Amino acid sequence: MFRKRYRQQIPELNTTSTADISFMLLIFFLVTSSMDTEKGLLRQMAPPPLEQEQPKDINRDNVMQVKLDANNQLTCDGKTVTYQQLTAEVHSLAFVNRTGHVISIQADPATTYEAYFQMQDAIVSAYQELREEYAKKHYGHSYAACTNDEKTALNEYYPQRISESPIKEGGAQ
């Protein structure tokens, strides 16, 4: 009699929904956690200038003067240009004189960061175009498909030669 009554086991706790609960936690974390991978333009600055450092003379033909004035107006060697035109100018200069050219950047203290960033972006995209062309020609695939060694070789083949002059305080000059 006693045995017969307990022949059926105690019903187990229904844990089917625990999975759903932990799924909800998982999704909550996926949504709230900042998955944003930080993106941006990576730049290498020059070390601080030494006391007795003589500025190096560079042939004027190889230097491109890129300036941004207080009204975010972009000029390249004295001519007013758009960002697309700047890309084209840098492209042709770096194509002709791969390792000897210099792009000199100067910005006014009142320039907005957006304009400055667009300028940097335009210059980098010119170099990227050149590297892309070279990669297609010599490796037979695009820059994105290159191995790290190939990328390093390309970056050395078309170095980014950008010189940034410090912004003068007061902006009188």
Contact residues toward other proteins (CB under 8 A) are: 15-16, 18-19, 21-23, 25-26, 29-30, 33-35, 37-48, 68, 107-114, 116-118, 120-121, 124-125, 128, 166-167, 169, 171
Residue number, 33 or 52, with CB nearest to other proteins = 33
Residue number, 61 or 159, with CB nearest to other proteins = 159
**CB of 121 vs other proteins, minimal distance in Å:** 4
Decide if 90 contacts 126 (C-beta within 8 A).
yes
Decide if 66 contacts 75 (C-beta within 8 A).
yes
Kind of pairing, strands 79-80 and 162-164? Answer: unpaired
Q: Which pair of structure tokens corresponds to residue 25?
A: 């936690």
**CB of 128 vs other proteins, minimal distance in Å:** 6
> Under 8 Å CB-to-CB from 151, ≥6 apart: which residues?
143
**CB of 8 vs other proteins, minimal distance in Å:** 14
Question: Among residues 161, 163, 164, 165, which one has the least CA distance to residue 130?
Answer: 161
**CB of 86 vs other proteins, minimal distance in Å:** 13
> Under 8 Å CB-to-CB from 5, ≥6 apart: which residues?
none
Residue number, 15 or 147, with CB nearest to other proteins = 15
Alpha-carbon span 85 to 126, nearest angstrom: 10
**CB of 44 vs other proteins, minimal distance in Å:** 6
First-to-last C-alpha distance (Å) of the chain: 107
Residue number, 1 or 45, with CB nearest to other proteins = 45
Residue number, 62 or 160, with CB nearest to other proteins = 160
